[in-house]
Amino acid sequence: MNKSELVAAVAQSAGISQAKAAQALSAMTDQITNAMARGESVSLIGFGTFSPRERAARMGKNPQTGASIQIAASKSVGFKPGKGLKDAVN
């Protein structure tokens, strides 16, 4: 399912226009993005938790030359599914 299919499904399920569903979905993703950028976790009970994760700097190898390279520290996003989502998938 892509974004436009999700918007259509939300619009149908909620009985609202696709424009309103698109606005709501966009607002939700914007707020999750803003919270993650501030280093905050976002928990949606029954669905899951988005949380910022930090990766430490480490040594790696260039696959073409085999030379060792330093990989810089970075930030990433983690997602831990909630019980409701796990149960629905299983």
CA 12 to chain centroid, in Å, comes to 24
CA 13 to chain centroid, in Å, comes to 23
Q: Which amino acid is at 53?
A: R
Which CATH number fits the domain that encloses residue 49?
Answer: 4.10.520.10
23-52: per-residue pLDDT in tens? 999 999 999 999 999 999 999 999 999 999
**Residue 85 · residue 48 · CB < 8 Å:** yes
Looking at residue 8, what is its pLDDT?
Answer: 96
Q: Which amino acid is at 76?
A: S
Number of domains in the chain: 1
Domain residue limits at 42: 3-89
Looking at residue 55, what is its pLDDT?
Answer: 94
The pTM of the whole model exceeds 0.85? no
End-to-end, the C-alpha distance of the chain in Å comes to 19
Distance CA 33, CA 12 (A): 26
pLDDT (average), residues 13-26: 95
56-79: per-residue pLDDT in tens? 999 999 999 999 999 999 999 999
